[in-house]
Amino acid sequence: MKLVRTRAGIVSEVMSVGRRGYTFAACLLLMVGLTTHAQAQGTPISRSSQDITVAQGVPVTPSDPAVRPSAGMGAGLPLQSTPLEDLLLEKNLISRDEWLRTKAEEERRTFERLTEGQFRASPRWFERINVNGYAQFRYSTRSQNNLTNQQGESFSNNNNGDFFYRRIRMVFQGQMSDRISFFIQGAYEGNGFQTSNAEMVDAYADYYITKNKEHRIRAGLQRVPNSFDTYRSSSQRQELDRSESVQTGAPGERDFGLAYYWSPKVAQERFATMTTYHNGPGDYGVFGIMVYNGQGRNQIERNRDKHFGAKLSYPFELPNGRLLEAGVLAFTGIYNVQNVGAPTSTSGSRCAKVLTHGGCEIQDQRVTAYIFTPPQPWGFQGEYTVGRGPERNAQGFVAEQELHGGYAQVNYTWRYSDVGQLTPYVRYSYYHGGMKNFQGAAADNTMWNFGLVWEPDTHLRLVSEYSLHDRLDTTVLALNRSQDELYGHWLRFQIQYFFN
């Protein structure tokens, strides 16, 4: 039976099914009347507005910690659970996907009502601040110490077989007015040399140009248009790391800059629905453009050249109800490689441009295409990137070189209760290029990841992952010495809990 989004439409279609009987139809009509009356009186059907949290992509990306298929702080407002939708699902008159879409639409409307109510009840902006966050506690072991993941594991790069916090994040966010919102996120995990560290990872404000929130400007420390993986928060992403093929384009995922995003209403609704499954990053617009420093998160600008990036994508809904997002991202700029010496030095990484430009300034360009469909119940995600960037050769010289790589990932979600679920996933990735934030070290690698995610509760996520690696050693860069090739495996476990 095709889903009709309005309650009146649902009741009409249910009544047309004669075999269910007039008694059942009358009960449904009674429930519709009761819930409609409650909403008309302004009575919340579910939780109070104090429980509202929002996603990083856009300050209004609701979903449901109480009944949504995946845990995570980035999803937001509880889905409004009413007896009507639940009973239709119980009687198998609608599918779980139709149930999710109906609730996503209801939560969007409820969120708009609650937001208006908040402004009336709390005219002072600081009374509308929401606090949430998450923590990731890991145990990591690998077959050899040099088999590291410079982009993904932070403190564990220097320790094999340790317990450690991969991430501890606290978020402060809110609406200063109906057109202005803010998002501030601090990080307290280790930085590779100590077990704890304080750093700002997000600090931006959104200004909505139009009342329907289709056009917005974002200013501050924010995610850059590098890849689909870059936009995904670790609160939503189930696998333990991003793929190096795309992560090397934007280490830290963020930078200081100014961005514009356009997202029509139909796209906003589909982006919101995707977050109720897995891995959806939220609303980063159908079209976006950004100018930013280009040196990485919390790094000062080291040249006068700014990076320019753009994104073009669209979330589709296929006739069978499957959601699918496809898009392309690109950026260009000049990157200043740090910790490299002049051509005559004895440094492990040298650069000819140090003499002519006063620094190792290398062209930094990428184009990345992606496709993503959330697990309904199976899902797929893949990206491929090409470009040019800094890379160290066998003689230790850093110069502009071509790069390419990508990954493909499949997963399947088994929901064994309203809140509990299991998700196995498999990912293959490869990358041929340099790591610009590690002296341009060559990073030729291939990797297989096999993981299992258990979410027994909306505030808890358990992940176990086994990975196989074939890569170059990026930890030892010596004069006139090529990088060693390493083979090995990792076994990692993570407990992630959410404050929302």
Residue position matching structure tokens 């407002």: 77
Q: What is the pLDDT of residues 99-110, one digit of tens each?
A: 777 776 776 666
Residue 58 lies in a domain: no
The Cα 270–Cα 322 span in angstroms is 11
- Are 182 and 205 contacting, i.e. CB atoms less than 8 angstroms apart? yes
* Model pLDDT, residue 32: 41
Helix (H) or strand (E) run with residue 156 in it: none
157: helix, coil or strand? Answer: helix
Domain count, the chain: 1
* Model pLDDT, residue 392: 87
The Cα 223–Cα 242 span in angstroms is 14
122 CB-near residues (< 8 Å, 6+ apart): 128
CA-only gyration radius of the chain, Å: 24
Q: Which two tokens stand for residue 166?
A: 């991969």
The alpha helices in 153-289, defined as continuous H runs, are 228-231, 244-247, 265-275
The Cα 370–Cα 479 span in angstroms is 38
Closest Cα to residue 311, out of 278, 281, 337, 288?
Answer: 288
* Model pLDDT, residue 394: 78
Q: How many residues are there in the chain?
A: 500
- Amino acid identity at 234: S
Q: What is the pLDDT of residues 183-228, one digit of tens each?
A: 999 998 865 555 557 789 999 999 999 989 999 999 999 999 999 9
The Cα 145–Cα 374 span in angstroms is 35
- Are 210 and 225 contacting, i.e. CB atoms less than 8 angstroms apart? no
* Model pLDDT, residue 35: 44
Residue 149 lies in a domain: yes
The Cα 439–Cα 416 span in angstroms is 48
Residue 349 lies in a domain: yes
Residue position matching structure tokens 């200004």: 207
Residue 335 lies in a domain: yes
Domain of residue 398, residue span:
127-499
Residue 181 maps to which CATH number? Answer: 2.40.160.10
Residue 180 lies in a domain: yes
* Model pLDDT, residue 300: 87
Find the farthest-apart pair of alpha carbons in the chain and give their distance in angstroms, rounded: 90
* Model pLDDT, residue 117: 59
- Are 170 and 203 contacting, i.e. CB atoms less than 8 angstroms apart? no
Omega before residue 59 within 30° of 0, cis: no
The Cα 381–Cα 303 span in angstroms is 35
* Model pLDDT, residue 200: 92
33: helix, coil or strand? Answer: helix
The Cα 79–Cα 154 span in angstroms is 35
195: helix, coil or strand? Answer: coil
Residue 257 lies in a domain: yes
Helix (H) or strand (E) run with residue 25 in it: helix 22-40
DSSP 467-483: EEEEEE--S---TT-PP
* Model pLDDT, residue 153: 54
User: Which one-letter DSSP state was computed for residue 22?
Assistant: H
Taking residue 112's Cβ as centre, other Cβ atoms within 10 Å add up to: 12
Measured over the CA atoms of residue 54, residue 60, residue 65 and residue 68, the dihedral's sign is negative
The Cα 190–Cα 196 span in angstroms is 4
CA distances to 365, 449, 474, 475 from 393, rounded to whole Å, are: 19, 28, 12, 15
Taking residue 67's Cβ as centre, other Cβ atoms within 10 Å add up to: 19
Return the exposure string of 340-366: e unless at least 16 CB atoms fall within 10 Å of the residue's CB, then b: bbeeeeebbbbbebbeeeebbbbebbb
* Model pLDDT, residue 116: 59
User: Which one-letter DSSP state was computed for residue 341?
Assistant: B
CA distances to 29, 147, 261, 481, 490 from 476, rounded to whole Å, are: 71, 11, 42, 9, 20
The Cα 191–Cα 197 span in angstroms is 6
Question: Are β-strands 378-392 and 398-412 bridged in parallel, bridged antiparallel, or unpaired?
Answer: antiparallel
pLDDT under 70 in the chain at which residues?
1-83, 104, 107-123, 146, 148-160, 190-196, 278, 476
Residue 12 lies in a domain: no
Q: What is the pLDDT of residues 422-437, one digit of tens each?
A: 999 999 999 999 999 8
Count Cβ atoms within 10 A of the Cβ of residue 20 and give its class: 0-12 exposed, 13-18 middle, 19 or more buried.
middle
**Partners of 133 in the beta sheet?**
170, 499
Count Cβ atoms within 10 A of the Cβ of residue 99 and give its class: 0-12 exposed, 13-18 middle, 19 or more buried.
buried
* Model pLDDT, residue 482: 73
Closest Cα to residue 270, out of 372, 355, 339?
Answer: 372
* Model pLDDT, residue 384: 98
Residue 148 lies in a domain: yes
- Are 359 and 311 contacting, i.e. CB atoms less than 8 angstroms apart? no
The Cα 347–Cα 344 span in angstroms is 9
DSSP 81-150: --HHHHHHHHTTSS-HHHHHHHHHHHHHHHHHHHHHHHHHH--SGGGG-EEEEEEEEEEEEESSTT---T
